[in-house]
Structure 1
Amino acid sequence: MNTVTIGELAELLDEMIPLQLAESWDNVGLMLGRRNKPVKRILLALDMTQEVVEQAIAKKADMLLTHHPAIFRKLSNVTDADWQQELLLQLAEHGIAVYSAHTNLDCVANGVNAVLSKRLRLQDDDVLDASNGLGRIGFLAEPQSLQSFAQQVKRVLNADYVTVGDAGKKVQRVAICGGAGSDLLELALAQGADTLVTGDVKYHEAQRAVFSGLNIIDAGHQPTELPVLDDLADRLSLRFSEVSWNIVVNVAQETLLLKAVS
């Protein structure tokens, strides 16, 4: 098996999840690390949080690959006064590189939205927003009530809860966007969707959807994006095998930030 460096792994990730697919405001790619350091184990996670960093250290990972950018805004300093910078310091002190794939992972083939579409068993699905590749739209095999479909979404995504805006439509043509995608509701309507599944839906966005005739299901930011990690782990393991790279791929266990209170 070949010895692989962080730089070589970053180049492979750049190829699999092209940086040019990212939105102009986004920050993606290698965020932290020495490019000549060997890599034998990586950990995939949605976010760089304390629980994820602790797992990366415990598993002796050489790279943490996150969906949400570990560094988003320009840094004027890096100290332990800020919780995110403190995590970067911990990772640097343990020699763990950080790579982030955000909006480019949202829209790449087999990315966040493609995996979400597959999980919800949408048929004949296609890109919802052709201008940037975001979202998907497709059909259910059979029409369902909104209540029934919402329960299915909750179960399939292991969501603690979902919230629903009922426009009085049966569910069959479904638009989806992992994370925060309520700004796509007009496109969903224009393409004949009766239902939009996404996360982070605000009150007035839900109001606009429902009164425009579009059911909306808020399944949460995390639950709609987490499924991509297992899929990406499988694809990375296969690719590493094809190029004879001996790199172990693990997926972090991440606690849902927002939970239902009984």
Structure 2
Amino acid sequence: MPTVREIEAALFELAPREGTMEWDNVGHLLGDPRQNVNRCMVALDITHAVAEEAIAAGCQLIVSHHPIMNCKWSQVQTVRDDTFQGSLLTRLLRANVSAICMHTNLDIAEGGVNDVLAQILGLQKLERFTSEGVCRCGWRAEPMALPEFVRFVSKTLGCNGVRYADAGKPVHRVAVGGGACGEFEDAAIAAGCDTFVTSDLSYHQFVDAKVKGINLVDAGHFPTEDPVCEKVIAFLAGRFPDLQIQKSASHKEAIQYYVEGE
């Protein structure tokens, strides 16, 4: 059976460390690199629920997209049982469960988060359009009316709800950015895109969409990134045939939408 160190090395072949953004924190972040792994769980995030699920399933390793310790929004200064993050870290350590996280390097990687998202949404002739190489753009085989495209996105990604702004254009050349990629809206416009699918867009971006001439589709952070988990599972299964791998069943979209009449 492989060790945590060997699995980390393989994952860096899928998503090279060199693609990691400067502020990010990726790789083997928790546990013993020498630990043997016969069962692994894959999830977008390592939540308390995912941790308990992995422990109950007898997993020695969790592979996630979002780092369990991230220097940008959750700096680790203490590891204490009476804090939210500290209790998660100590729970996993006491259960001998390691954590490997592939984040911005997996966003940027060929075949990573944004290639998977673009392919699921039926885009062809994919291109990178940002200097960082994060997002992708491509063409739909045939133009589609925006309301029809929004329904397609919602159904395909399993969204609880979709926020969108209509700039009055059919959907043909589409940019995608899994997770919070609203900062690349202007780059999508410069690349000639009529539509941008991403998440965590601001109110003012929706207000300005028609003037700027781009349809905006906010399909949610979880739905736009979670599809890459299946890619990670397939990759690990190919590299380590004897490794038992399962996707977290407890981790789902956290945002709920109230609809009048339901």
TM-score bucket of the superposed structures, by smaller chain: over 0.9
> Once the 2 structures are TM-superposed, how far is the Cα of residue 81 of structure 1 from its aligned partner?
2.2
Instruction: Show CA shifts across 1:199-234 (max 9, x none).
Output: 001111223333200000000000000111012211
Q: Out of 65-74 and 162-171, give the one that drifted further.
A: 65-74
Cα distance in 2, alignment partners of residues 13 and 63 from structure 1? 13
**Aligned-partner residue type, residue 256 of structure 1:** E
> Once the 2 structures are TM-superposed, how far is the Cα of residue 36 of structure 1 from its aligned partner?
1.3
CA contact (8 A) 2:79 2:85 kept: no
CA contact (8 A) 2:197 2:216 kept: yes
Instruction: Show CA shifts across 1:166-217 (max 9, x none).
Output: 1111110000000011111111111110000000011112233332000000
The alignment partner of 2:179 has SS state of strand
Specify the alignment match of 1:258 in structure 2.
Answer: 255
Deviation above 3 Å: which 4+ runs of structure 1?
A: none
Cα distance in 1, alignment partners of residues 216 and 190 from structure 2? 15
Specify the alignment match of 2:115 in structure 1.
Answer: 114
> What does residue range 17-96 of structure 1 map to in structure 2 within 5 Å?
17-73=15-71, 74-96=75-97
**Aligned-partner residue type, residue 231 of structure 2:** D
> Once the 2 structures are TM-superposed, how far is the Cα of residue 20 of structure 1 from its aligned partner?
1.2
Cα distance in 1, alignment partners of residues 243 and 170 from structure 2? 47
Instruction: Show CA shifts across 1:60-110 (max 9, x none).
Output: 111111111100134221012221221111110110001111100101011
Cα distance in 2, alignment partners of residues 13 and 231 from structure 1? 11
Specify the alignment match of 1:5 in structure 2.
Answer: 3
Root-mean-square deviation (CA, aligned residues, Å) is 1.1
Structure 2 residue 130 is matched with structure 1 residue 133? no
The alignment partner of 1:25 has SS state of coil
CA contact (8 A) 1:210 1:216 kept: no
CA contact (8 A) 2:67 2:101 kept: yes
Cα distance in 2, alignment partners of residues 16 and 193 from structure 1? 28
CA contact (8 A) 2:114 2:134 kept: yes
Q: Normalization by structure 1: what TM-score? A: 0.94
**Aligned-partner residue type, residue 252 of structure 1:** S
Cα distance in 1, alignment partners of residues 154 and 82 from structure 2? 37
Structure 2 gap segments, 5+ residues each: none
Cα distance in 2, alignment partners of residues 102 and 208 from structure 1? 30
> Once the 2 structures are TM-superposed, how far is the Cα of residue 113 of structure 1 from its aligned partner?
0.3
The alignment partner of 1:7 has SS state of helix
Cα distance in 2, alignment partners of residues 247 and 158 from structure 1? 28
**Aligned-partner residue type, residue 12 of structure 1:** A
**Aligned-partner residue type, residue 240 of structure 1:** F
> What does residue range 238-253 of structure 1 map to in structure 2 within 5 Å?
238-241=238-241, 246-253=242-249
CA contact (8 A) 1:138 1:174 kept: yes
> Once the 2 structures are TM-superposed, how far is the Cα of residue 151 of structure 1 from its aligned partner?
0.4
Q: Out of 92-101 and 229-238, give the one that drifted further.
A: 229-238
Specify the alignment match of 2:155 in structure 1.
Answer: 155
CA contact (8 A) 2:163 2:219 kept: yes
Cα distance in 1, alignment partners of residues 160 and 218 from structure 2? 12
Q: Normalization by structure 2: what TM-score? A: 0.94
Q: Out of 167-176 and 201-210, give the one that drifted further.
A: 201-210
Cα distance in 2, alignment partners of residues 237 and 8 from structure 1? 14
Q: Out of 60-69 and 5-14, give the one that drifted further.
A: 5-14
Structure 2 residue 7 is matched with structure 1 residue 15? no
**Aligned-partner residue type, residue 243 of structure 2:** I
Cα distance in 2, alignment partners of residues 136 and 82 from structure 1? 38
Cα distance in 2, alignment partners of residues 106 and 61 from structure 1? 25
Instruction: Show CA shifts across 1:119-148 (max 9, x none).
Output: 00001111121x221111011111111100
Specify the alignment match of 2:222 in structure 1.
Answer: 222
Specify the alignment match of 1:105 in structure 2.
Answer: 106
